[in-house]
Chain A
Amino acid sequence: SQKIEQNSEALNIQEGKTATLTCNYTNYSPAYLQWYRQDPGRGPVFLLLIRENEKEKRKERLKVTFDTTLKQSLFHITASQPADSATYLCALRGDSNYQLIWGAGTKLIIKP
């Protein structure tokens, strides 16, 4: 069956360091992958999208990589700040399935 896995344990990072979150998937051939941020009591907010033919995408302090061979995406936040603390969700859409499938998210905690 199709599956998306994100680290269920919270990730604790010291302020100023780079935070790296992982999204692994199986039995998919996704056309693209998206990363969203979700704060408590709020809906997810779109951050970045990367397509299957792209290796890397950047936006300010954010960087996403997409390895279709490893079936993995990495999400990096450089020079992390306490305000980056949130849950980060990855979501995939396959070529033949128009539905967006979501991971459970990883909680990121940036300590001052």
Chain B
Amino acid sequence: EAGVVQSPRYKIIEKKQPVAFWCNPISGHNTLYWYLQNLGQGPELLIRYENEEAVDDSQLPKDRFSAERLKGVDSTLKIQPAELGDSAVYLCASSLGYGVDTQYFGPGTRLTVL
């Protein structure tokens, strides 16, 4: 069974440029999560989807971050414009359905904003 796929693995951009991350969850997983992880810290939830509905986006900085999950499968997270402080690892995870306990993570996208 294929795991959670993320691309790109690494991205380096200048500040004020836009950037997008893509995630393909495990087949059949209804719930998709985007996390941000800084070095030496645990993941911090940005947004959670149940199928195509964003059910928890309270920690997503909506002035510059946006996300979508068309057809309840793949998802894209966008930052526009990027700031220096956005440098971090962006992790995507999926689970069978909310309330089912185990989350499966992709390898993450390491973003560096110069």
Interface residues on A, range: 20 to 34
| Number of B positions contacting A (CB below 8 A) | 22
Q: Which of A8, A41, A43 meets B93, CB within 8 Å? A: A43
Q: Is B45 an interface residue (CB 8 A)?
A: yes
Interface pair A104/B98, CB less than 8 Å apart: no
Whether A46 touches B41, Cβ cut-off 8 Å, given contacts A98-B56, A98-B98, A99-B56, is no
Interface residues of B in 71-100 (CB under 8 A from A): 91, 93, 98-99
Question: In the assembled complex, how far is the CB of residue A109 from the closest CB belonging to chain B, in whole angstroms?
Answer: 15
Residues of B within 8 A of A44 (CB): 43, 91, 103, 105
Q: Is A28 an interface residue (CB 8 A)?
A: no
Interface pair A104/B41, CB less than 8 Å apart: yes
A33 CA to B94 CA, complexed, in Å: 18
Question: In the assembled complex, how far is the CB of residue B5 from the closest CB belonging to chain A, in whole angstroms?
Answer: 11
Interface pair A43/B4, CB less than 8 Å apart: yes
Whether A46 touches B104, Cβ cut-off 8 Å, given contacts A98-B56, A98-B98, A99-B56, is yes
Interface pair A102/B56, CB less than 8 Å apart: no
Q: Is A21 an interface residue (CB 8 A)?
A: no
Q: Is A85 an interface residue (CB 8 A)?
A: no
Residues of B within 8 A of A49 (CB): 101-102
A89 CA to B40 CA, complexed, in Å: 11
Whether A32 touches B101, Cβ cut-off 8 Å, given contacts A41-B107, A42-B107, A43-B107, is yes
